[in-house]
């Protein structure tokens, strides 16, 4: 026993290293991983880490008062109000709860991404096993949605890409994808469609796919650009400067990117193009043509709300979250940078005065007077009236944070005590 202990003790560093290795190996080599209630047996492809998996289900885009939720609703509302069918219903259907777990077929094959394309590599994606990954783009749902019979949809969701981490890159972000299909009579509104063709057996040119007539291709390109320029003007204002840049995607031809001029820089807003006819054919669609686009919500929200760091979207810190608490999708919120130093939270509860009027604003002013700029927030967190005495009690949460340094508990306590004592003297409250 003793010997064993001595041996162990004398090898602490090595032993620890070994233990640590054993631990990480154990985590990495668990036989299966579970995501969204589904189990995936580990194989050569599995590389999704617990940290990444912890983001699945946060669904920032579904939180009404989160900047991404606000932006999503703003775009959806734009499409709902601008594109209405003859029967008065929105033309675009919205899908924002599709599982981020997709197959390799959905993410790549259905979109004609070549087998050896770099975007399929383990170093670019988070694989669950050889056949499944966390979607790398919301375009992964295109074929399924089209197969299900939809002619116009928007899809919004979290996407996962292995990438550097800096102020504008994070391995999880959010996209909004859309597609719209047209039949011949929707494009050519005249009565007599004889002699009008969507398709031809032609050549691919920079302007069109081999199977599209030039008229079809030009209609689609124009309709797509009008739609997206209108969206950009809705988001950035009527006067926004924008430009179209030729691009390439395996699933569209021709392909474009839209850039907008914002704060002195050209920002790439979205990718789009005329949907490859082969994709539609694989979905069983032979009599329609269409376009599609995809945009990243974070980049857009960072511009619109002046959010300086992409990590902030994941923050649960009230200094971030509360800045959007009262926003509506169309309100112009300008994010104010909160200090990077930690918050210090202290509550205070008191009985309101019986003789005099009390307004929470009086207390807020007093707190600001005493604490100055280190007061980040004051909120009424609890209100209660004693049924017998009829006295009312308020509880306020005060969040302290200095912009330039970490506050010590003692410094904060001193100020907090002073607030309590001045409130008692000046506002007639009774501390509980
Ligand atoms: N999926 C592309 C990306 O993540 C964006 C995109 C481009 C989506 C063209 C589309 C499209 O639907 O048609 O970069």
Q: Give the separation between CA 64 and CA 72, rounded to whole angstroms.
A: 9
Q: Is 292 in the pocket of ligand 1 (CB under 6 A)?
A: yes
Question: Is residue 67 lining ligand 1, measured as CB closer than 6 Å?
Answer: no
Burial of 14 (0-12, 13-18, 19+ CB in 10 A): exposed
If you ran DSSP here, which 8-state letter would residue 199 be given? B
Q: Could you report how far apart the first and last alpha carbons of the chain are, in Å?
A: 57
Q: Which of 95, 136, 294, 297 to mutate to test the pocket of ligand 1 (most atoms within 8 A of CB)?
A: 294
Ligand 1: does its nearest atom lie under 6 Å from the Cβ of 273? yes
Distance CA 275, CA 257 (A): 14
Instruction: Judge contact between 211 and 200, C-beta under 8 A.
Output: yes
Q: Is the pLDDT of residue 348 over 80?
A: yes
Maximal CA-CA distance, the chain: 99
Q: In angstroms, what is the span from residue 285 Cα to ligand 1's centroid? A: 20
- 349's CB contacts (< 8 A; 6+ apart) are 382, 393, 394, 395, 396, 431, 432
For residue 36, how far is its CA from the centre of ligand 1 (angstroms)? 25
Q: Cβ(168)–Cβ(299) under 8 Å?
A: yes
pLDDT in tens, 106-162: 999 999 999 999 999 998 999 999 999 999 999 999 999 999 999 999 999 999 998
* Atom of ligand 1 at shortest range from CA of 138: 1
Under 8 Å between Cβ of 180 and 186 = no
pLDDT-based confidence at 13, cuts 50/70/90? very low
Q: With a 6 A CB cut-off, is 96 part of the ligand 1 pocket?
A: no
Span 130-143, pLDDT tens digits: 999 999 999 999 99
CA of 256 relative to ligand 1 center, distance in Å: 10
> Which atom of ligand 1 is closest in space to residue 179's alpha carbon?
12
Please state at what angle helix 297-305 crosses helix 214-236, rounded to 10 degrees.
Answer: 40
Q: Do the beta carbons of residue 92 and residue 179 sit within 8 Å?
A: no
* Ligand 1 atom nearest to 275, measured from its CA: 13
* φ, ψ (nearest 5 deg) of residue 109: -60, -45
pLDDT at 224: 98
CB 158 within 8 A of CB 60: yes
Which ligand 1 atom minimizes the distance to the CA of 295?
A: 5
pTM > 0.85: yes or no: no
DSSP code per residue over 70-103: HHHHHHHHHHHHH-B-TTSSBSSEEE----SEEE
CB atoms within 10 A of CB 347: 11
Rounded distance from Cα 293 to ligand 1 centre (Å): 5
Please state, in angstroms and rounded to a whole number, the distance separating the CA atoms of residues 97 and 99: 6
From start to end of 165-264, where are the E strands?
172-183, 242-249, 252-262
pLDDT band at 369 (very low <50, low <70, confident <90, very high): confident
Secondary element (H or E) of residue 379: strand 375-385
């Amino acid at each position: 026993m003793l010997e064993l202990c001595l041996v162990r003790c004398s090898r602490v560093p090595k032993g620890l290293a070994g233990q640590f290795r054993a631990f990480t190996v154990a985590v990495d080599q668990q036989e299966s991983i579970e995501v969204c209630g589904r189990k995936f047996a580990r194989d050569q492809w599995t590389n999704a880490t617990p940290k990444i998996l912890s983001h699945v289900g946060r669904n920032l885009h579904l939180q009404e008062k989160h900047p991404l939720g606000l932006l999503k609703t703003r775009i959806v509302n734009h499409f709902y109000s601008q594109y209405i069918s003859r029967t008065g219903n929105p033309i675009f259907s919205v899908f924002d709860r599709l599982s981020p777990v997709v197959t390799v077929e959905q993410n790549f094959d259905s979109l004609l991404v070549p087998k050896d394309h770099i975007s399929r590599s383990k170093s670019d994606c988070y694989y669950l096993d050889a056949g499944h990954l966390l979607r790398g783009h919301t375009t992964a749902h295109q074929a399924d949605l089209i197969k299900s019979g939809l002619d116009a949809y928007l899809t919004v969701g979290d996407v996962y890409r292995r990438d550097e981490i800096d102020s504008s890159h994070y391995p999880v972000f959010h996209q909004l994808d859309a597609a719209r299909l047209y039949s011949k009579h929707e494009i050519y509104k005249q009565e007599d469609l004889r002699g009008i063709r969507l398709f031809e057996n032609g050549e691919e040119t920079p302007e069109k796919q081999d199977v599209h007539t030039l008229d079809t291709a030009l209609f689609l390109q124009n309709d797509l650009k009008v739609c997206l320029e209108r969206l950009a003007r809705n988001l950035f204002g009527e006067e926004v400067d924008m430009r179209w840049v030729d691009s390439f995607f395996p699933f569209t031809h021709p392909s474009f990117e839209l850039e907008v001029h914002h704060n002195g820089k050209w920002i790439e807003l979205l990718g789009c193009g005329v949907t490859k006819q082969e994709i539609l054919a694989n979905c069983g669609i032979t009599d329609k043509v269409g376009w599609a686009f995809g945009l990243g919500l974070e980049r857009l929200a960072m511009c619109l709300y002046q959010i300086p760091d992409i990590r902030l979207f994941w923050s649960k810190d009230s200094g971030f979250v509360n800045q959007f608490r009262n926003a509506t999708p169309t309100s112009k919120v300008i994010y104010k940078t909160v200090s990077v130093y930690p918050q210090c939270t202290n509550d205070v509860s008191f009985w309101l005065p019986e003789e005099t009027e009390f307004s929470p604003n009086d207390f807020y002013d007093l707190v600001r007077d005493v604490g100055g700029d280190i007061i980040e927030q004051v909120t009424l967190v609890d209100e209660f009236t004693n049924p017998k005495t009829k006295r009312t009690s308020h509880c306020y949460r005060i969040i302290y944070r200095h912009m330039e340094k970490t506050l010590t508990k003692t410094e904060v306590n001193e100020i907090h005590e002073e607030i309590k004592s001045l409130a008692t003297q000046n506002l007639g409250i009774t501390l509980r």
